[in-house]
């Protein structure tokens, strides 16, 4: 298990275990052949005859495999037949033994597992495109894997649970992800999964297992084995895991409970920031989310687990009075004044002063309980603001039907965060900058974005002004054109019209230009974070990839730039 | 003492001694090279090869390789013998005997390498 799997050595291991049957077969043949050579035979005419090795080998060979045979070259005498009898049993039994043993070795699950791993590992070594390693195919892993493979990333998935591996095989994912059935905690398995790929093609490692210990192990070995790879680690339970990951330079740490509670607290202090974070950190929103306005006052938190604790802390920080309802106060140690109970019965909720409350958080780890809490609480106080924790993917329609104001889905949140960190790291940097600004500032940005989008949620993307991604831009720069941000905003077919998008951030080497003005001059290598309609991206792409359109949006003239067309049609188009 | 090592060394050494015994004598004289000896050398050599399966150390690989070489040489010698006496129906001449014996002497060399490696490994392990 410990050494790196390689197919050749695996076969040698099997050969080693088959030594005994091999030797038994050789011995049976050798003894039988020697017997036939030694026993005197009789010719047709009665004269004595001695079989030689060649004929003995010939005879034993076909005797062992097919018992319907003749006696060659002369009919055998009694002694020879006696020996034949012995040889038949000796060779047939030894063959039988060897074959069953070989089949058992080959059918051994440990061996087939080993073979499979070495096959996948071989495929990984032969990869010639960048890839990500995803460790753990649980609820969160599923979403991450599906999304990343749908947008065209090559993935290597490390999962030790055979059940999950089977699910993964049947999942029918695009882009042929490679499934490595192994334990991500073991560094040698990570090596076999390609973490230090010889062409440096491993772009990043995503540790999204349900177990903190596994994620920590992956984060540590990933950073040690390949310092260049981006490592994203998920923290489920323990704060010290996050600290430990940080000390190993893990690039991004995802703690869904922490993130959600922090994000929710923004709704109190700065609804603009709340909305901005909501828009930019979700990759799977279809409809535009309306701003939420939870009121300050008495809040009830049902369940003092990982989410309950974070929510309690954040809500109190925002100046709310918080009552905790907890079924097992001896274990989770809620603050004094907490109510014992599950929160699913009216009696407990009344004890928690539901009539006076403005909001309730159903934060237990059981979906049925959470739904029951929300429905019961709504009956007792219809004006409540409800936050529900959805643990299972399947419960989503139920939470929607119960009229939950905000649903916390741990796995979706993890997936969204991971995807954002990997695909648009600029968003992450932008939000970091934006979150230090005043609420007033955020409101302005939100209204600016709202002005360009319709009923769909805003879409954000990064435009790279590089040779590969925007060839027309770099060409135009080479021809000496000055290109401003305003030019990129222009419609490629009618430059008087403006695309429905806003630039949020320009990254120029290590410098960040927050909310650049329209007359900002753009340079090769700039990366721009845009937010707006999905359609605007397509149009902008068509500009930066086409020399004529690029020339048109900058100068307003339809110049023919392609030298061949210039020769053929020298006249300038109107 | 380890029984597996004894058996291993026994077969490696026996392959060499039997092989040597067959080769010993006038290279052209069929009477001095008996078929039984060649057969015994071949069988023991095959068993020695199987014993060397699965050892993945560098020395183990060379041991296996040298053993395979010995097998190949001995099988070639046996084939020459069979083709001449059975396929062409002739008795052994001085020329064919010489080629059979020289093929087997190649196997002796390979077996010597095996034994030397085995001894070297033993001495290194002692230290």
How many CB atoms are located within 10 Å of the residue A7 CB? 14
| Per-residue pLDDT band at A2 (split at 50, 70, 90) | very low
Ranges of beta strands (E only) in chain B are: none
DSSP state at residue A490: B
Q: What residues of B are in contact with residue A16 (Cβ under 8 Å)?
A: 53-55
pLDDT tens digits, A193-219: 888 887 778 888 888 888 888 888 888
Task: Kindly give the pairing relationship between strand A501-508 and strand A511-514.
Answer: antiparallel
| Per-residue pLDDT band at A494 (split at 50, 70, 90) | confident
Q: Which pLDDT score, from 0 to 100, does residue B22 have?
A: 93
Kindly report the length of chain B: 127
Q: Which pLDDT score, from 0 to 100, does residue B40 have?
A: 93
Q: Which pLDDT score, from 0 to 100, does residue B102 have?
A: 94
> Which residue numbers of A have CB closer than 8 Å to B's CBs?
9, 12-13, 15-19, 22-23, 26-27, 29-30, 33-34, 37, 52-55
C-alpha A199/C-alpha A206 separation (Å) is: 19
Q: Which pLDDT score, from 0 to 100, does residue A443 have?
A: 87
Across the interface, whether the CB atoms of A54 and B47 are under 8 A apart is answered no
Rounded average pLDDT over A471-500: 87
Q: Which pLDDT score, from 0 to 100, does residue A100 have?
A: 93
DSSP A279-344: HHH-SS--BPPPP--PPSSEEEEE--SHHHHHHHHHHHHTT-EEEEEES-HHHH-PPTTPEES-S-
- DSSP-H helix ranges across A154-238: 162-170, 187-192, 212-225
Measure Cα distances from A331 to A210, A310, A405, B55 in Å: 22, 17, 30, 55
Is the pLDDT confidence value at B113 over 90?
yes
| Per-residue pLDDT band at A8 (split at 50, 70, 90) | low
| Per-residue pLDDT band at A284 (split at 50, 70, 90) | low
Helix-, strand-, coil-residue percentages of chain B, each rounded to 5: 80, 0, 20
Across the interface, whether the CB atoms of A19 and B51 are under 8 A apart is answered yes
Q: Which pLDDT score, from 0 to 100, does residue A196 have?
A: 82
Q: Which of A23, A34, A37 sits opposite B50 (nearest CB)?
A: A23
3-class secondary-structure state, position A495: coil
Q: Which pLDDT score, from 0 to 100, does residue B103 have?
A: 94
Instruction: Nearest chain B residue to A19 by CA: give it.
Output: B50
How distant is the Cα of A545 from the closest Cα of chain B, in angstroms?
Answer: 56
| Per-residue pLDDT band at A562 (split at 50, 70, 90) | low
Q: What residues of A are in contact with residue B56 (Cβ under 8 Å)?
A: 9, 12
Rounded average pLDDT over A489-504: 87
Is the pLDDT confidence value at B32 over 70?
yes
Instruction: Nearest chain B residue to A29 by CA: give it.
Output: B43
Q: What residues of A are in contact with residue B85 (Cβ under 8 Å)?
A: 52, 54
Rounded average pLDDT over A268-279: 84
Is the pLDDT confidence value at A10 over 80?
no
C-alpha B40/C-alpha A57 separation (Å) is: 13
Chain centre to alpha carbon of residue A145:
4
- In this prediction the ipTM stands at 0.77
pLDDT tens digits, B70-109: 999 999 999 999 888 887 878 888 899 999 999 999 999 9
Q: Which pLDDT score, from 0 to 100, does residue A236 have?
A: 73
Rounded average pLDDT over A390-416: 84
- Which pair of structure tokens corresponds to residue B70? 């010995």
Is the pLDDT confidence value at A307 over 70?
yes
pLDDT tens digits, B2-26: 777 788 889 999 999 999 999 998 9
Q: Which pLDDT score, from 0 to 100, does residue A4 have?
A: 41
Q: How many CA atoms lie within 13 A of A72 on its CB side?
A: 14
By percentage, how much of chain A surpasses pLDDT 90?
6
Q: Which of A216, A212, A210, A187 is nearest to A136 (CA)?
A: A210
Rounded average pLDDT over B43-64: 84
Rounded average pLDDT over A417-438: 83
Q: Which pLDDT score, from 0 to 100, does residue A355 have?
A: 86
How distant is the Cα of B36 from the closest Cα of chain A, in angstroms?
Answer: 8
**More confident site: A319 or A567:** A319
Rounded average pLDDT over A77-91: 87
Q: What residues of A are in contact with residue B55 (Cβ under 8 Å)?
A: 16
Across the interface, whether the CB atoms of B43 and A54 are under 8 A apart is answered no
pLDDT tens digits, A319-342: 888 888 888 888 878 888 788 888
Q: Which of A16, A19, A54 sits opposite B82 (nearest CB)?
A: A54
By percentage, how much of chain A surpasses pLDDT 70?
93
pLDDT tens digits, A102-145: 888 888 877 778 888 888 888 888 888 888 999 988 888 888 88
Is the pLDDT confidence value at A1 over 50?
no
| Per-residue pLDDT band at A537 (split at 50, 70, 90) | confident
**Average pLDDT over chain A, rounded to whole?**
83
């Amino acid at each position: 298990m410990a050494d790196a799997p390689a197919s050749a050595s695996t076969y040698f291991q099997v050969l080693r275990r088959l030594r005994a049957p091999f030797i038994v077969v050789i011995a049976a043949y050798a003894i039988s052949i020697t017997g036939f050579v030694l026993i005197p035979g009789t010719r047709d005419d009665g004269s004595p005859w001695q079989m030689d090795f060649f004929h003995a080998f010939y005879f034993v060979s076909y005797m062992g495999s097919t018992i319907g045979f003749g006696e060659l070259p002369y009919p055998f005498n009694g002694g020879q037949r006696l020996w034949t009898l012995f040889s038949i049993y000796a060779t047939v039994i030894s063959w039988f033994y060897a074959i069953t043993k070989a089949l058992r070795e080959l059918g051994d699950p440990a061996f087939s597992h080993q073979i499979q791993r070495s096959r996948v590992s071989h495929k990984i070594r032969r990869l010639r495109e960048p890839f990500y390693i995803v460790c753990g195919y649980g609820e969160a892993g599923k979403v991450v894997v599906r999304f990343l493979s749908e947008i065209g990333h090559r993935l290597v998935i490390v999962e030790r649970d055979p059940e999950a591996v089977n699910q993964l095989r049947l999942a029918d994912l695009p882009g042929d992800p490679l499934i490595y059935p192994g334990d991500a905690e073991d560094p040698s398995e990570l090596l076999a999964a390609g973490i230090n790929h010889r062409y440096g093609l491993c772009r990043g490692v995503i540790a999204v297992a349900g177990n903190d210990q596994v994620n920590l192990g992956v984060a540590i070995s990933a950073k040690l084995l390949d310092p260049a790879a981006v490592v994203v680690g998920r923290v489920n339970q323990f704060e010290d895991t996050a600290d430990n990951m940080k000390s190993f330079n893990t690039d991004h740490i995802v703690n869904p409970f922490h993130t959600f509670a922090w994000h929710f607290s923004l709704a109190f202090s700065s609804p603009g920031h709340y909305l901005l974070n909501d828009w930019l950190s979700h990759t799977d929103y279809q409809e535009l989310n309306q701003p939420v306005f939870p009121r300050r006052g008495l809040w009830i938190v049902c369940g003092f687990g990982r989410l309950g604790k974070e929510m309690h802390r954040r809500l109190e920080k925002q100046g709310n009075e918080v009552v905790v309802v907890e079924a097992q106060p001896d274990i989770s140690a809620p603050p004094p004044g907490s109510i014992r109970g599950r929160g699913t019965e009216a009696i407990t909720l009344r004890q928690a002063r539901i009539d006076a409350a403005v909001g309730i958080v159903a934060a237990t780890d059981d979906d049925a309980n959470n739904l029951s809490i929300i429905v019961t609480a709504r009956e007792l106080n219809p004006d409540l603001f409800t936050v529900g924790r959805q643990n299972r993917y399947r419960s989503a329609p139920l939470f929607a039907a119960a009229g939950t104001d905000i649903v916390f889905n741990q796995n979706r949140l993890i997936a969204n965060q991971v995807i954002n960190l990997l695909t648009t790291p600029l968003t992450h940097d932008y939000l970091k900058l934006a979150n230090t600004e005043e609420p007033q500032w955020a409101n302005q940005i939100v209204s600016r974005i709202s002005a360009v989008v319709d009923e769909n949620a805003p879409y954000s993307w990064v435009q790279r002004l590089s040779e590969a991604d925007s060839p027309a831009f770099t060409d135009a720069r080479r021809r000496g054109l000055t290109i401003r941000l305003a030019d990129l905003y222009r419609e490629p077919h009618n430059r008087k019209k403006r695309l429905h998008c806003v630039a949020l951030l320009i990254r120029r080497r290590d410098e960040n230009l927050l909310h650049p003005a329209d007359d900002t001059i753009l340079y090769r290598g700039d990366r721009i974070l845009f937010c707006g309609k999905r359609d605007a991206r397509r149009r902008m792409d068509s500009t930066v990839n086409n020399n004529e359109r690029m020339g048109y949006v900058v100068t307003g003239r339809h110049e023919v730039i392609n030298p061949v067309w210039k020769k053929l049609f020298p006249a300038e188009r109107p | 003492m380890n029984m597996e090592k004894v058996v291993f060394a026994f077969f490696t050494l026996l392959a060499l001694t039997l092989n040597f015994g067959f080769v010993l004598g006038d290279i052209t004289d069929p009477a001095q090279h008996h078929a039984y000896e060649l057969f015994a050398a071949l069988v023991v050599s095959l068993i020695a090869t199987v014993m060397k399966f699965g050892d993945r150390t560098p020395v183990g690989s060379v041991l296996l390789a040298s053993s395979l070489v010995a097998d190949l040489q001995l099988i070639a010698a046996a084939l020459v013998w069979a083709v001449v006496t059975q396929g062409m129906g002739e008795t052994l001449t001085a020329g064919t005997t010489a080629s059979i014996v020289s093929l087997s002497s190649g196997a002796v060399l390979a077996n010597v390498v095996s034994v030397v490696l085995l001894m070297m490994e033993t001495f290194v392990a002692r230290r």
